[in-house]
Amino acid sequence: MNDPVTLTTRLLDDAAPFVAGHRGTVGLPTPIPRLTLWTSTKATLPTPAVFEPMFYAVLRGTKVLIMGANRFELLAGSCATSSFGLPYIHQLTGAKPDLPYVGISLHLDTDLLTRVMLDMPKRDDRWTCAVAADHLDGTVGDAFARLVGLLGTPDDIGALAPHYEFELYYRLLQSAMGDTLRQVSQRNNRFQQLKAAADWLAANHSEPVNIADLAASSGMSVTSFHRHFKAVTGFSPLAFQRHIRLLEARKLLASGSTNVSRVAYEVGYTSPSQFSREYKGMFGSTPLGDLQR
């Protein structure tokens, strides 16, 4: 097994030709499907986004992830994975021009992950958070390094990347993060009900929500639904929906919307003043200020 420091150095060497010379904070697509390199020459403010099902590794610097009540501080040589899309806040610390942050993300192929699971001995479904973090070492680190190493031999990507990705999923499912990833296709009724509720809140973020009805559709009491939803996502149901609403509002403002009140109503707010307060609380700037910029 690779030493974590040696492994991180190897991955940094593979990433170096792609990230060299970039200023600011950028995401760089690579020839490997769904693999993106991230680099930043400066620390960043807390930034809301959605953590899609993915595997993420930090090679240099520190990335902080906050998902409701859950907080992960990923140092160099750390990694994290998510089983379904969650609103979150991320921040890079310590990055500077002479020592930029470097990370790598791999959006998960959930169909391939499910096929890998079918080839493995069946395990009992376990109740766990939809996000997990660990050290990037051992067999997971070895498999990930083989996949990323194909950046240096692009002619091999078509033939070998699918096999290396298969191996990475296999090792991840065997690791301490495996319980989280098995949620992608496990048949645990309660987890699937909670995922369906989260998906509904995201897809219907502009609609009023009746928590009692949502809990009933998940087959739970209101108290049980709140407790289990927060255990999996880190958010209360209403906080989850509020994060999605505000992220959508920021997209609308950035895409050329010309009226803050119209945006507020479009994403589901009945009070533009409440929208402005919550928007500033989340992004640190007013919607009008972002619109003018």
> Residue 125's pLDDT is what?
61
> Residue 282's pLDDT is what?
86
The phi, psi pair for 185, rounded to 5°, reads -135, 10
Residue 288: how many other CB atoms lie within 10 Å: 13
Query: Across-strand partners of 67?
Result: 70
CATH code for residues 4-182: 2.60.120
Give dist(CA 162, CA 166) in Å, integer.
6
Residue type, 161: A
Residue type, 203: A
For residue 154, the 8-state DSSP code is G
Which two structure tokens, joined as six digits, stand for 252? 């609308």
**144 exposed, middle or buried (CB, 10 Å; 0-12, 13-18, 19+)?**
buried
Q: Measured between alpha carbons, how far apart are the two ends of the chain, in Å? A: 50
> Residue 185's pLDDT is what?
66
CA 216 from centre of chain = 28
Give dist(CA 33, CA 107) in Å, integer.
9
List C-alpha distances in Å: 228 to 97, 176, 189, 234. 43, 21, 13, 9
Domain map (residue ranges) of the chain? 4-182, 189-292
**Ranges in the chain, pLDDT < 50:** 1
Question: Cβ distance 114 to 184 under 8 Å?
Answer: yes
Q: Tell me the CATH class for 189-292.
A: mainly alpha
Question: Cβ distance 246 to 230 under 8 Å?
Answer: no
Give dist(CA 225, CA 242) in Å, integer.
18
Question: Cβ distance 233 to 183 under 8 Å?
Answer: no
pTM: 0.81
